[in-house]
Amino acid sequence: MAAPHDQAFHELSLSAVPPWGILIYEFYSALRQESVMQVELPMKCGPCGTEGKQSIRVDASSFEWKCPGCGATAYVVLDLDLTIGFLLVERSRYELQEKRDYALSITMAAFALDCELSRLFIKWTRIADLVAGRQFDAAKCERELKRLKFIPKFKAVAEMLYPGGIEAYVQQTPALAATIQQKFPSLHIGSLAEDFHKAVMKPRNAIAHEGDLHFDKKDAERCLSIASFGLNIFRDMDLERRKLLI
């Protein structure tokens, strides 16, 4: 049975709801039906080489996949580094390539980067408290996190992971600096937090705050590519930070 507020929404005249409001409602309605958000992962059969895809819940840690070619069954355990950000990137890719829903792909790409930053903030706050012999206060950490907008959060997490933050890390990694200069003209060493915000979060904000759905395939591809690149940088920085704990 529908909850009272759901029933009330259904009784509204959809003509009174802006198109972006309907889009958001339908998206969250679909998520309610799924119970937990689903993502699709690319698969390849070892014995026969057949490629396919497997839909999994974002909270899954393992699953079984049956090859559509030879019928072989594989039990897959997900890598611990396949975190929420990387799973949401796959949802963004699905919306881009399969559904051609470019606005939703952009939204999910931005969601992926933002969620991963939040995860890392909580993770390393917890570790810092453990090292210092303090009791981790989840509620306090959540309050601190909520006070941070994207750019301050981006910089704070980067500082947690590497002395001098992302700018110092990139400057100390020549291959990474070269990739930025050659493949990502919208990103600039010295203003990376601001540039990621402009390239990834601003399009998402235009969709979520202004109902601007006039984005095309190239816009979605660019946003997904830059968000994925940002996730890879933070994953590498996280790995470097973890080495210091050993």
**Domain coordinates in residue numbering, the chain:** 15-78, 101-243
Question: Which ranges of the chain does DSSP label H, i.e. alpha helix?
Answer: 4-11, 19-34, 84-94, 102-132, 138-147, 150-161, 165-171, 174-183, 192-196, 202-210, 217-243
User: Is-contact 166 189, C-beta < 8 A?
Assistant: no
pLDDT band at 56 (very low <50, low <70, confident <90, very high): confident
pLDDT of 236 higher than 90: yes
Tell me the average pLDDT across 5-10.
42
Beta bridge partners of 76: 63
CA dist., res. 194 & res. 212, Å (int): 21
What pTM did the predictor assign?
0.81
The DSSP annotation for 72-125 comes to: -EEEEE--TT--HHHHHHHHHHHIIIII--HHHHHHHHHHHHHHHHHHHHHHHH
pLDDT of residue 29: 52
Token output for 14: 């959809």
Is the pLDDT confidence value at 125 over 50? Answer: yes
* 177, 189 Cβ separation under 8 angstroms: yes
Local confidence band at 41 (pLDDT 50, 70, 90 cut-offs): confident
Confidence of residue 9 (pLDDT cuts 50, 70, 90): very low
Pairing of strands 73-77, 51-57: unpaired
Q: Is the pLDDT of residue 98 over 60?
A: yes
The pLDDT value given to residue 79: 82
Q: Give exposure, 126-157, as e/b (b: 16+ Cβ within 10 Å).
A: eeeeeeeeeeeeeeeeeeebeebebeebbbbb
Please compute the mean of the pLDDT values over residues 12-39 and round it to a whole number. 51
In whole angstroms, how far apart are CA 133 and each of 30, 121, 129, 229?
43, 18, 6, 35
* Closest of 84, 49, 52, 82 to residue 65, by C-alpha: 52
Mean predicted lDDT score pLDDT of the chain: 87
Residue 13 pLDDT class (50, 70, 90 cuts): very low
**pLDDT value at residue 81:** 83
- pLDDT (average), residues 50-68: 88
As beta bridge partners, residue 40 has 55
Task: Kindly indicate the confidence band of residue 175, based on its pLDDT and cuts at 50, 70 and 90.
Answer: very high
Does pLDDT of 31 surpass 50? no
